[in-house]
Amino acid sequence: MPSQRVIVVTGASAGVGRAAARAFGRQGECVALLARGEKGLAGAANEIRAEGGTALEIPTDVADYQQVEAAAARTERELGPIDVWVNVAFSSVFARFADVRPEEYRRVTEVSYLGYVHGTMAALSRMRPRDRGTIVQVGSALAYRGIPLQSAYCGAKHAIQGFTESLRCELLHEHSRVRITMVQLPAVNTPQFTWLRSRLPEHAQPVPPIYQPETAARAIVHAAAHPRRREYWVGASTAATLLANAVAPGLLDRYLARTGIASQQTGEPQPHQAGNLWEPADRETGHDYGAHGEFDRRARFGGVQPALSRHHGAVALALLAGGAAALGRRFR
């Protein structure tokens, strides 16, 4: 049996999942890496081993429950009982809702929402009998606030939020010592803007401010160590977005209607981008994309805020109300 924890990370081949897997490896953990792209998985495994951790690469499409269940069984067979399961994997389409095809919407939902359900089922079926373990759901400010051009992704993140809250209540009712927590992320500089399917006229970009994936990774590692908090918010922009949505959602609708389309495009022509919806971009004939995207010069490192308590939340909302009213005068 290994002396360190056994961690499973989905979407571990690139982006936030890659950075989180590397951060766990730096702590000497045993990390099972789940993703479709074999080039990315191999790169992540090499990084973990270089950091002193143990890596197990398991090519997995999280949209297929049988593959996820098989990955969980292999993890426990080769590394030991799973202590932490981190759900990160997703895919999406950058497009107006009217331009997304039904089969694409279904696929995004199967990967980006049902992938979390499948991972949680596989983890919980092992953790619940042992009455221990932690599940970390990597969410987004978009779990609370939908934005244009990302309806499928926003829908999946909203669904994860509701599903996780429901499950948390069930675990509390059972007095279970299995913990489930969420990490809500801001815009992050990952390869998704290079490899997601896009039908935009201009190249897609994160909505500023943009954070580096290592910021998200630190939050995930922290949440795994301190799962009693129901949520963690990464970056001040996430907290501001969630609070603004709570104070004046209609106002935010109008603001995003005016600014949300242009702010997600660079102004440069959109290159041909078939995307990774059906096949991984880092398949055998592709290359390893790593954790970072194209926006290193604009990305920053930020902090992690535990979700505000009811008292502090009320104070923050009161302070924000004045700013929301001022925005309303400008954008209505």
Q: List strand residue ranges (DSSP E) for 155-258, in order.
A: 179-185, 187-188, 197-198, 202-204, 210-211, 231-234
% helix / strand / coil in the chain, to the nearest 5?
A: 50, 20, 35
From the list 115, 67, 69, the residue with the least C-alpha distance to 90 is: 115
* CA atoms 78, 82, 87, 88: torsion sign: negative
Alpha-carbon span 26 to 112, nearest angstrom: 27
Catalytic site includes residue 232 = no
CB atoms within 10 A of CB 88: 29
Alpha-carbon span 99 to 96, nearest angstrom: 5
Alpha-carbon span 254 to 148, nearest angstrom: 11
Helix (H, G, I), strand (E, B) or coil at 211: strand
Candidate list 113, 116, 144, 153, residue with the active-site label: 153
Active site residues: 153
